[in-house]
Amino acid sequence: MLSVGDVVDATFELRERLARGGMSVVWRAYHRGLRRDVALKLTPVQDAVRVERLLREANRLSRVRAPSLVEVLHAGHDPVHGVAFLVMPLLLGETLAERLRSEGPLSRDELVAMLLDVAAALEALHEVGIVHRDVSAGNVLLKKSEAGRVLGATLIDLGISWEATSAPVTTTGHIPGTWGYIAPELAREGAKPTPRSDQYALAVLAYEAAEGARPFAGELPEVVFARQASQTPKPCHACGKPVGAAIERAMERDPELRFDSVLDFASAAAGLRRTVDLQYVWRSYREVAKTLGALGGLLGAVLLFIWIVSSLEGVPTKAVSTSALDGGAPARVDGGPPQGR
């Protein structure tokens, strides 16, 4: 158990414990070499899964550079204290989750500033095939002005990020991510996380930042998830027009109907591009078009049938009963008056 004053890897003097997550503890630590404070994410070396996860996070962060994605400065392990660690610049400011608890929702301008930054960080990850998989209010650190206005954000925590080289996805019993942000399509067995599932989570985050609550409520995660999978979110009234419309599209249950990229989503929310483009209209109405096509085909078949029947009615036809063939009086001849009465 580490405490204030301990020195990790003979370099990092622990000053203040910032947070204890599910898999790690984050400290503010003084870097003796650089003579400045850094953020130190630690996990016990006995837990091989956690260590692997931390080192994978360090590796992925080291491969992607974006101004709004947290940087990794160093990673390693300290056998003396039995910890693996990841070193990051110390980001000042609170998480979006903390801000929502302390002061409530963001203004529209603040929301757009945050959204553009988080989207840019995600886009950089997506470009190299990494899906964040845990976009949530606890993983976004806000950048603020002296006066306390939100000017942007930094995305952190690649702990459960995913890329094609990751282990196969099994969803039995557990879907990695934070409840309420997980895209509904990820419930399917073997479903892989995609940039579009990150986009869904980002839309939930934007909604929450504006309204102060997530689009689907419920006590149990399963209930929330069932609602996400079957219901359309309530409109985000606090969002205003472009943001609200962009969120609606980014939260489409069918990933195909979402924006092509997180950046397209954020740009539409910021009013920098159309929320609804022709491609979206076409995709949305493709199903309707298919149904209309099927109905058209059916109507054609019915008309053809009617035409055939009416043409046959014009041709005199005679059906003679077997009694006529037997030599008796014809019992009935179609198309003529009844005979033999």
Query: By C-alpha distance, which of 147, 149, 141 is closest to 117?
Result: 141
Say how far apart CA 2 and CA 17 lie, in whole Å: 10
Secondary structure element (H or E) that encloses residue 326, with its range: none
Using CB under 6 A, which residues numbered 147 to 206 contact ligand ATP? 156-157, 159
Least Å from the CB of residue 95 to Mg ion: 9
Residue 45's binding partner, choosing from Mg ion, ligand ATP, none, with beta-carbon cut-off 5 to 8 A by kind? Answer: none
- Among residues 11, 43, 139, 199, the one that binds Mg ion under rule CB under 5 A: 139
269 interacts with ligand ATP by CB under 6 A? no
N-term to C-term CA, the chain: 113
Beta strands 83-89; 36-44: pairing state: antiparallel
What, of Mg ion, ligand ATP, none, does residue 224 touch, CB below 5 to 8 Å by kind? none
Which residues fall within 8 angstroms of residue 305, CB to CB, at 6 or more apart? none
Catalytic residue chosen out of the listed positions 37, 78, 134, 157: 134
Residue whose structure tokens are 């009844």? 338
CA distance 112 to 93: 18
- Which range binds Mg ion by CB under 5 A, 136-144, 177-185, 271-279, 322-330? 136-144
| Contact code string over 6-35 relative to ligand ATP, x by CB under 6 A | ------------xx-xxxx-x---------
Q: How far is it, in rounded angstroms, from Cα 169 to Cα 176?
A: 10
Task: Report strand pairing: 83-89 vs 74-78.
Answer: antiparallel
Which residue's CB is nearer to ligand ATP, number 42 or number 266?
Answer: 42
- DSSP assigned state of 95: B
Token pair for 184:
């509904």
Among 55, 91, 191, 270, binds ligand ATP (CB under 6 A): 91
Q: Given candidates 72, 88, 113, 239, which one binds ligand ATP under the rule CB under 6 A?
A: 88
Q: Are 205 and 111 in contact (CB under 8 A)?
A: no
Q: Which two tokens stand for residue 68?
A: 């709004």
Residue number with CB closer to Mg ion (157 or 208): 157
User: By Cβ distance, which residue is nearest to Mg ion?
Assistant: 157
Q: What HEC string does 167-193 produce?
A: CCCCCCCCCCCCCCCCCHHHHCCCCCC
| Span 126-145, contacts to ligand ATP by CB under 6 A | 138-139
Out of 9, 157, 248, 252, the only residue in the binding site for Mg ion (CB under 5 A) is: 157
Give the total of residues touching ligand ATP (CB under 6 A): 19
Residue 134 is among the residues annotated as catalytic for this protein: yes
Query: In angstroms, what is the minimal distance from the CB of 21 to ligand ATP?
Result: 2
Interface residues toward ligand ATP, by CB under 6 A = 18-19, 21-24, 26, 39, 41, 70, 88, 90-91, 95, 138-139, 156-157, 159
Tell me which residues are annotated as active site. Answer: 134
